[in-house]
Structure 1
Amino acid sequence: MDILIRWALFLLAAVLLAFLLEKRTEKERYLYMKLVFYACLGSVSFPVYDIQLPLGIILFLIVLHPQKNSRYKRYMALFGFLFFLLQLFAGPLDTFTVREETQQIGRVMITDQSFHHLLSQIEKRVGDESLRLEQSELLFDQGGNLRNATFEVIAKSPKRFVRYDISYQEITGTITYRPREEVLERSLETYYQKLIDASRSFDTLRQLSIKQILHDSKTPYVEMDMDGLYETFSLQDATVLLIGDQGELIPYVNTGEDVLANAIRLTYLRADGQSLREKKILLYNYSFETSRRKGVVR
């Protein structure tokens, strides 16, 4: 549940509870507002490293000693403290927006809308604005049948990062979603910021001219690997193509300048699983202004 919704429900409950308790109390000026205040005080916390201390309830028990209607004010402070505990335990649980599960999707052709549907299903299950791609691997045959696919992505919550493993298997026609690891936010923030948005990579896959890749392939299978890191490429080691705005593949004329980009690597596989030496690198989200950006290495 969104944190703003939780707080709105808490304030509404505090107001209603204060209204009910006020009828049982001694007369006191501004009592209604004081009861709501003590509820809010009890919910206040203070972060110390990765620990949230219940500062509000500590202040109430040690510093504040209301004389009039003290029992009811204590009830409200404890109500706020219970909300603090709910926040404490509900926060990490909220990061698991997807439990391990399997979804039936059927046969997927990488050249038609069934592949777009697969990507859309992934975005619906774990996709949001925070979702970023670590890496993915797709294996398809010369006829365009997607044999298997894996995606490793990271989602960000207010306090945690959660890594997800997502896989598709042609044999079963299913997608499997599996939360793999939960990491404290500050320990992964720098790495996370270097990754590309998963939605941008998925849009590239949707637009990519797969038919051109299949037409140029001399082997029964093609393996497509994507890396979410924004890297510097020297463009010396392999055949390099740029992915245009419409998904077309544009031969890159090497001018000697490095390029900063995200990459899709193509490996051509024979029927026995052995790969050809020939490999291609497809670049997208690229920039040629690398001379101004120091400290980025491949």
Structure 2
Amino acid sequence: MLIMSILLTIILIVLLVFIYKKREETETKLGWKVVGYFWLGAFAFKVNEIPLPLGFLLFLLLFRPVANVKTKNRSAYLGLAFFLIMHVIFPAVERELFERPRDAVAASNNMFQVDFTNDWMTIRDQIKIDEYARLVYFRADYQKSGQIDRLSYYVVDISEKDSVYYDINFSADTNRYTIRAEKIGVEGLEYVEFVEASRFFEVLDEVQVRNLSLEQPFEGYTLRFDGEWIKDANEYQQKYVILGKEIKTITRDQLPTEGYPINVCGKGKPYELPTGSGVANRCEANADFFFDD
């Protein structure tokens, strides 16, 4: 974008000089007037963050050049073109470049072998995500062997002005993550209480996904995490607490547990939907594993 800005500046100077040289008649301080009409045409006024060409509208309504009419009109219209480039074309190009899908290589396509912290750091460094980005949602569907069927998660890079939402999807076919970014502005502040993504992946690596198991084996599993701190775990039935590499059962007679819950559900064999539109796996049992920050 810097190179484009430099090129645009050079082009504008050349065009202003060209407009000045094409003047119809001699006029005192015409060079300054050409520049003034240009800036008038380029002047923008924002209403609810929407830029409006107020300067050009004022030119149309209030300014009636007497001498060098074509020269001054050309300068104002060049200003309008500059307004459109800076406030419409450039932002659209910048957004397109920013939101384009980008890829990162994964360490493994097996849930039991993935180095989540390493994969996260690879994505974070490659895409330039803040190290304190918050995890909003995580879901992985995998077979009893650990083979990943689907894995995706969302993180938010929080800022008071330009918070960024990242949609990260893993493909078992290519063994790569695809990352899509979207600027969400101040809306990102609502996720400030969510867990840091690095903390979540640290917990997964330390406890090991294969140890987040249920009382009986299933054909497949779904591991889901919603990012939010839960203050009262009474509503959760089968629950455990993660203490480093250890997992301890929370019994009903213990005090309510608070923390971030990772939900694991066990699924049976796929069955055909009654509508004939595909197959599904019903969650037959689940448990929640709590950790803190």
With normalisation by structure 1, the TM-score equals: 0.64
Distance 2:241 2:163 in 1: 33
Within 5 Å, which residues of 2 pair with 1:219-298?
A: 219=217, 222-228=221-227, 230-238=228-236, 239=239, 241=241, 263-269=260-266, 272=269, 275=283, 277-285=285-293
CA, structure 1 residues 11+252, in 2 after alignment: closer, same or farther (shift >3 Å)?
farther
Q: How many matched pairs?
A: 269
CA, structure 1 residues 71+123, in 2 after alignment: closer, same or farther (shift >3 Å)?
farther
| Residues 242 and 291, structure 2, Cα contact 8 Å, conserved in 1 | yes
| Match of residue 293 from structure 1 | none
Q: Secondary structure at the match of 1:137?
A: strand
Distance 1:72 1:156 in 2: 48
| Residues 42 and 76, structure 1, Cα contact 8 Å, conserved in 2 | yes
Distance 1:208 1:49 in 2: 43
Distance 1:161 1:18 in 2: 38
Report the Cα offset of residue 50 of structure 1. Answer: 6.7
Pairing partner for 2:202 from 202, 207, 224: 207
Q: Secondary structure at the match of 2:88?
A: helix
Report the Cα offset of residue 51 of structure 1. Answer: 4.8
Runs (5+) with no aligned partner, structure 2: 270-280
| Match of residue 57 from structure 1 | 56
Q: CA RMSD in A?
A: 4.7
Report the Cα offset of residue 9 of structure 1. Answer: 5.4
Distance 2:287 2:18 in 1: 73
Report the Cα offset of residue 265 of structure 1. Answer: 1.7
Distance 2:201 2:209 in 1: 14
| Match of residue 150 from structure 1 | 152
Distance 2:66 2:33 in 1: 13
Report the Cα offset of residue 159 of structure 1. Answer: 10
| Residues 262 and 289, structure 2, Cα contact 8 Å, conserved in 1 | yes
CA, structure 1 residues 146+19, in 2 after alignment: closer, same or farther (shift >3 Å)?
same
CA distances 1:196-220 after superposition (whole Å, capped 9, x unpaired): 599931x224422434442352446
| Residues 109 and 144, structure 1, Cα contact 8 Å, conserved in 2 | yes
AA partner of residue 150 (structure 1): S
1:95 corresponds to 2:103 = no
Pairing partner for 2:213 from 217, 238, 241: 217
Within 5 Å, which residues of 2 pair with 1:170-209?
A: 170-176=172-178, 189-190=186-187, 192-196=188-192, 200-201=196-197, 203-209=198-204
CA distances 1:247-284 after superposition (whole Å, capped 9, x unpaired): 7668799766x86x6x3523142564554645124345
1:15 corresponds to 2:13 = yes
Report the Cα offset of residue 149 of structure 1. Answer: 0.3
| Residues 168 and 175, structure 1, Cα contact 8 Å, conserved in 2 | yes
